[in-house]
Amino acid sequence: MADSLPPLDELDLRLIELLTLRPRAGVLELSREAKVARATAQARLDRMETAGVITGYGPDIDVAAAGYGVHAFVTLEIAQGGLDEVRADLEAIPGILEAYVTTGTGDVLCRIAAASHEDLQQTLLALNRSGAVTRSTSVIALSVLVPSRVLPLLAAGPRRNASRAPAYREMS
Protein backbone atom coordinates (compact mmCIF):
# COMPACT_ATOMS: atom_id res chain seq x y z
CA MET A 1 0.00 0.00 0.00
CA ALA A 2 1.35 3.42 -0.86
CA ASP A 3 2.55 5.60 1.99
CA SER A 4 0.21 8.41 0.94
CA LEU A 5 -2.89 6.25 1.32
CA PRO A 6 -4.26 6.19 4.86
CA PRO A 7 -5.31 2.80 6.22
CA LEU A 8 -8.37 1.41 4.49
CA ASP A 9 -11.60 2.35 6.23
CA GLU A 10 -14.96 0.58 6.36
CA LEU A 11 -16.16 2.10 3.07
CA ASP A 12 -12.97 1.09 1.24
CA LEU A 13 -13.31 -2.45 2.59
CA ARG A 14 -17.00 -2.58 1.65
CA LEU A 15 -16.24 -1.49 -1.91
CA ILE A 16 -13.47 -4.08 -2.22
CA GLU A 17 -15.79 -6.75 -0.80
CA LEU A 18 -18.54 -5.82 -3.26
CA LEU A 19 -16.09 -5.92 -6.16
CA THR A 20 -14.83 -9.30 -4.99
CA LEU A 21 -18.37 -10.69 -4.88
CA ARG A 22 -19.46 -9.06 -8.16
CA PRO A 23 -16.44 -7.94 -10.20
CA ARG A 24 -18.61 -6.83 -13.12
CA ALA A 25 -20.66 -4.40 -11.02
CA GLY A 26 -20.60 -0.78 -12.14
CA VAL A 27 -19.86 2.16 -9.90
CA LEU A 28 -23.54 3.08 -9.66
CA GLU A 29 -24.45 -0.40 -8.43
CA LEU A 30 -21.53 -0.39 -5.99
CA SER A 31 -22.57 3.00 -4.62
CA ARG A 32 -26.14 1.78 -4.08
CA GLU A 33 -24.95 -1.37 -2.30
CA ALA A 34 -22.53 0.62 -0.14
CA LYS A 35 -25.18 3.29 0.49
CA VAL A 36 -22.98 6.20 -0.63
CA ALA A 37 -23.11 8.69 -3.47
CA ARG A 38 -21.84 7.51 -6.82
CA ALA A 39 -19.15 10.22 -6.80
CA THR A 40 -17.98 9.05 -3.37
CA ALA A 41 -17.66 5.45 -4.56
CA GLN A 42 -15.84 6.57 -7.72
CA ALA A 43 -13.46 8.78 -5.76
CA ARG A 44 -12.62 5.96 -3.34
CA LEU A 45 -12.01 3.49 -6.17
CA ASP A 46 -9.85 6.03 -8.02
CA ARG A 47 -7.83 6.70 -4.85
CA MET A 48 -7.25 2.97 -4.26
CA GLU A 49 -6.27 2.47 -7.93
CA THR A 50 -3.83 5.39 -7.84
CA ALA A 51 -2.28 4.04 -4.64
CA GLY A 52 -1.90 0.59 -6.21
CA VAL A 53 -4.28 -1.16 -3.80
CA ILE A 54 -6.66 -2.11 -6.61
CA THR A 55 -4.53 -3.39 -9.46
CA GLY A 56 -7.14 -4.53 -11.94
CA TYR A 57 -10.64 -5.70 -12.73
CA GLY A 58 -9.79 -8.45 -15.18
CA PRO A 59 -11.32 -11.88 -14.91
CA ASP A 60 -9.96 -14.24 -12.28
CA ILE A 61 -9.11 -17.47 -14.08
CA ASP A 62 -9.42 -20.92 -12.54
CA VAL A 63 -6.57 -22.62 -14.36
CA ALA A 64 -7.75 -26.08 -13.27
CA ALA A 65 -11.15 -25.47 -14.89
CA ALA A 66 -9.32 -24.24 -17.99
CA GLY A 67 -7.59 -27.62 -18.32
CA TYR A 68 -4.47 -27.17 -16.20
CA GLY A 69 -5.31 -29.23 -13.13
CA VAL A 70 -1.79 -30.24 -12.05
CA HIS A 71 -0.21 -27.62 -9.80
CA ALA A 72 3.26 -27.59 -8.31
CA PHE A 73 5.59 -25.36 -6.37
CA VAL A 74 9.24 -25.37 -7.34
CA THR A 75 12.11 -23.93 -5.34
CA LEU A 76 15.10 -22.93 -7.43
CA GLU A 77 18.64 -22.41 -6.31
CA ILE A 78 20.36 -20.13 -8.78
CA ALA A 79 23.94 -19.19 -9.58
CA GLN A 80 25.30 -16.03 -8.01
CA GLY A 81 24.19 -13.05 -10.11
CA GLY A 82 21.81 -15.16 -12.21
CA LEU A 83 18.58 -13.44 -11.25
CA ASP A 84 18.09 -11.56 -14.53
CA GLU A 85 18.86 -14.67 -16.57
CA VAL A 86 16.48 -16.84 -14.56
CA ARG A 87 13.73 -14.18 -14.84
CA ALA A 88 14.00 -14.25 -18.63
CA ASP A 89 14.01 -18.05 -18.64
CA LEU A 90 10.95 -18.24 -16.37
CA GLU A 91 9.03 -15.69 -18.43
CA ALA A 92 9.64 -17.86 -21.52
CA ILE A 93 7.90 -20.88 -19.93
CA PRO A 94 4.09 -20.59 -20.22
CA GLY A 95 3.36 -22.88 -17.26
CA ILE A 96 5.09 -20.58 -14.77
CA LEU A 97 2.24 -18.65 -13.17
CA GLU A 98 4.26 -16.75 -10.58
CA ALA A 99 7.82 -16.56 -9.30
CA TYR A 100 9.13 -14.90 -6.15
CA VAL A 101 12.64 -14.17 -4.96
CA THR A 102 12.87 -15.70 -1.48
CA THR A 103 15.05 -16.05 1.57
CA GLY A 104 16.08 -19.40 2.99
CA THR A 105 17.62 -22.39 1.28
CA GLY A 106 16.14 -21.57 -2.12
CA ASP A 107 16.44 -18.38 -4.13
CA VAL A 108 13.23 -18.41 -6.19
CA LEU A 109 9.82 -19.99 -5.54
CA CYS A 110 7.68 -20.72 -8.60
CA ARG A 111 4.02 -21.68 -8.89
CA ILE A 112 3.39 -23.88 -11.90
CA ALA A 113 0.26 -25.19 -13.63
CA ALA A 114 0.24 -28.05 -16.13
CA ALA A 115 -2.33 -30.06 -18.06
CA SER A 116 -0.88 -33.40 -16.94
CA HIS A 117 2.00 -34.94 -15.05
CA GLU A 118 3.83 -35.34 -18.35
CA ASP A 119 3.27 -31.66 -19.09
CA LEU A 120 4.59 -30.80 -15.62
CA GLN A 121 7.67 -32.93 -16.28
CA GLN A 122 8.35 -31.00 -19.50
CA THR A 123 8.03 -27.71 -17.60
CA LEU A 124 10.45 -28.95 -14.92
CA LEU A 125 12.92 -30.04 -17.59
CA ALA A 126 12.67 -26.60 -19.21
CA LEU A 127 13.36 -25.00 -15.82
CA ASN A 128 16.44 -27.13 -15.34
CA ARG A 129 17.79 -26.17 -18.78
CA SER A 130 18.26 -22.62 -17.51
CA GLY A 131 21.95 -21.90 -17.15
CA ALA A 132 21.24 -19.95 -13.97
CA VAL A 133 19.47 -22.82 -12.16
CA THR A 134 21.85 -24.96 -10.13
CA ARG A 135 19.18 -27.06 -8.37
CA SER A 136 15.41 -27.36 -8.24
CA THR A 137 13.07 -28.99 -5.77
CA SER A 138 9.41 -29.50 -6.62
CA VAL A 139 6.29 -30.45 -4.71
CA ILE A 140 2.93 -31.22 -6.28
CA ALA A 141 -0.14 -29.61 -4.76
CA LEU A 142 -2.84 -32.21 -4.04
CA SER A 143 -5.70 -29.81 -3.30
CA VAL A 144 -6.42 -26.21 -2.33
CA LEU A 145 -6.79 -25.83 1.41
CA VAL A 146 -7.25 -22.04 1.54
CA PRO A 147 -7.87 -20.31 -1.78
CA SER A 148 -6.21 -17.01 -2.60
CA ARG A 149 -7.86 -14.27 -0.55
CA VAL A 150 -7.21 -10.75 0.70
CA LEU A 151 -10.41 -9.59 2.41
CA PRO A 152 -9.63 -11.14 5.83
CA LEU A 153 -6.23 -9.43 5.85
CA LEU A 154 -7.66 -6.06 4.85
CA ALA A 155 -10.49 -6.35 7.36
CA ALA A 156 -7.99 -7.07 10.14
CA GLY A 157 -6.47 -3.64 9.52
CA PRO A 158 -2.88 -2.50 9.29
CA ARG A 159 -0.43 -3.76 11.85
CA ARG A 160 1.12 -1.19 14.14
CA ASN A 161 4.82 -1.37 14.70
CA ALA A 162 5.78 -2.35 18.20
CA SER A 163 7.22 0.42 20.31
CA ARG A 164 10.98 0.29 20.75
CA ALA A 165 10.68 1.34 24.36
CA PRO A 166 8.45 -0.18 26.99
CA ALA A 167 5.26 1.72 27.69
CA TYR A 168 5.57 4.42 30.34
CA ARG A 169 4.07 3.36 33.61
CA GLU A 170 3.40 5.84 36.32
CA MET A 171 4.86 4.70 39.61
CA SER A 172 2.45 4.73 42.48
pLDDT tens column, 78-124 = 999 999 999 999 999 999 999 999 999 899 999 999 999 999 999 99
CA-only gyration radius of the chain, Å? 22
| Burial of 89 from C-beta contacts in 10 A (0-12 / 13-18 / 19+) | buried
**Nearest Cα residue to 87 out of 100, 74, 71:** 100
| Annotated domain spans of the chain | 10-59, 70-141
pLDDT tens column, 112-162 = 999 999 999 999 999 999 999 999 999 999 999 999 999 999 888 775 443
Judge: domain 70-141, CATH 3.30.70.920: yes
Judge: domain 10-59, CATH 1.10.10.10: yes
**Nearest Cα residue to 94 out of 69, 135, 126, 62:** 126
pTM for this predicted structure: 0.78
